Amino acid sequence: MLREWLQHLMTPCPPYLRRLGYLKQLIGMQARHRRCREAWAPHLQHTRDMILAAADACSSHDKVVILGSGLLLDVPVEELSERFKTVELVDILHMPQVRHAVSGLANVRLLTRDITGVVEPLSRGDIPQPDIADLGVNGASLVVSCNILSQLGILPEQLSPGISDRLVAAHLDALAGLGGTVCLITETSHRLMEGETEVEKSAPLDGNDIPDSLKMRRQCWDWDFAPAPERHPRYDLIHTVEGFIRSGNAET
């Protein structure tokens, strides 16, 4: 706790993102990864494998864009930098250790961007209407939505109840409209389990369905997100993760 508190104090971050909890979320994810490293390993490897399979499916290798690069836990950044001319890692906030990790990779760029476009206006008290999101991915041979979809609405929802659902829908519409290869990896259900017994189930995509046009080359796996007693003394929190690769004909 003290370590995370100090990290929160010392890490450079725009004040509005700090206030809304984006820095706290990233620090929390890093701490949980330290505690649940073994349980998370298969999910992280599945995600990396899926991204590399999507890279194999591309007809050109000019640029790959990773949306939600986060701490690079599930992003095979070195392999991508060998396979593509340019790698763009997009996140609302890049932590210092991520900047350090990619500093030796000349063709890797960190782009700090809110891919919903609503976070800064919300922080000023405006209530923006999420439209089809501008993902800012022009010229990409491959766009990866990397375990970010279910996260997009969590903090905005606190300021504008009901917005989460529309942010998820806007992101899916934007991905479906891209011309290049798209790889979508996302949680699609959360289950509290006591051994083999399901105690509770919830839907992290707010009732949104993934468009049929993206639902290709599906893979599905469980992410042992919070094994007991991480979140609950007896229950494990398991996320179902689904990944899709839709090959494209053109660059986005």
Ligand X SMILES: C[S@@+](CC[C@H](N)C(=O)[O-])C[C@H]1O[C@@H](n2cnc3c(N)ncnc32)[C@H](O)[C@@H]1O
Nearer to ligand X, 62 or 120 (CB): 120
Structure tokens at 53: 């399979």
The helix (H) or strand (E) run that includes residue 223 is strand 219-226
Using CB under 6 A, pick the residue from 27, 55, 65, 73 that binds ligand X. 73
- Are 144 and 65 in contact by the 8 Å Cβ rule? The answer is yes
Binding map of ligand X across residues 162-201, x = CB under 6 A, - = no contact: ----------------------------------------
Using CB under 6 A, pick the residue from 20, 26, 64, 122 that binds ligand X. 26
Structure tokens at 33: 């990864």
Nearest to 124 by CA among 245, 197, 15: 15
Q: Residues touching ligand X: how many (CB under 6 A)? A: 22
Q: Which residues contact 81 (CB under 8 A, 6 or more apart)?
A: 87, 105, 107, 108
The CB-of-61 to ligand X minimum distance in angstroms stands at 21
The CB-of-172 to ligand X minimum distance in angstroms stands at 14
The helix (H) or strand (E) run that includes residue 154 is helix 154-159
* 137 binds ligand X per the rule CB under 6 A: no
Distance in angstroms (rounded) separating the CA atoms of residues 116 and 130:
7
The CB-of-62 to ligand X minimum distance in angstroms stands at 22
The CB-of-119 to ligand X minimum distance in angstroms stands at 5
Nearest to 136 by CA among 186, 75, 65, 77: 65
Using CB under 6 A, pick the residue from 80, 92, 143, 183 that binds ligand X. 92
Nearer to ligand X, 68 or 204 (CB): 68
Question: Footprint of ligand X on this chain (CB under 6 A)?
Answer: 22, 26, 68-75, 91-93, 114-116, 119, 146-148, 151-152
